Amino acid sequence: MILFQLKCEHDHEFEGWFKDGATYDAQAAGGDLSCPVCGTSNVGKALMAPRLRTSRQKEEAQEKQRQVAVTQATQAAIAEIRKQVETNCENVGTKFAEEARKIHYGETEKRGIYGEASIKEAVELVDEGIDVHALPWDDKTKKN
């Protein structure tokens, strides 16, 4: 459906809905259109501004910008966390669970460490009362 602003020979303006532009052309050529005010069939298209959905498009663009900003802020925060951990803690690699237990039970000096642990190892550490946290590493070399 298409909406046209119409105008009669007496300058009365009104709207008309048509299936398409060709339908309007056929009705206008056949004299099938008439002014609802004066009844004349001398009717044509009037100047009209296009109807744009700018407010919806603007809202969608703003939402996309907000999502991009949140993503960028999150990535920056993760990068800063990683920088702080790597600067202030020791990377013990795959021996994380073992080293965390040694520190917790006083078998080695207390220090900040980071490394890798399986989910099972992490659950066991938590069950033992050892405080551990998974970090949202942004590591391009890892697949998951």
pLDDT, one tens digit per residue, over 104-133 is: 999 999 999 999 999 999 999 999 999 999
- Residues 43, 126: Cα–Cα separation, whole Å: 81
pLDDT, one tens digit per residue, over 20-72 is: 989 999 998 998 999 899 889 899 998 776 666 667 878 888 899 989 888 89
Q: What is the pLDDT of residue 130?
A: 96
Chain mean position to CA 15: 38
State yes or no: pLDDT of 77 exceeds 70: yes
DSSP string, 5-20: EEEETT--EEEEEESS
CB atoms within 10 A of CB 33: 20
The three-point CA angle 67-69-73 to 5° equals: 120
State yes or no: pLDDT of 142 exceeds 70: no
**pLDDT band (50, 70, 90) for residue 102:** very high
Looking at per-residue pLDDT, the higher value among 56 and 101 belongs to 101
State yes or no: pLDDT of 14 exceeds 80: yes
With 0.85 as the threshold, say if the pTM is over it.
no
**Tokens 């007496």 sit on residue:** 10
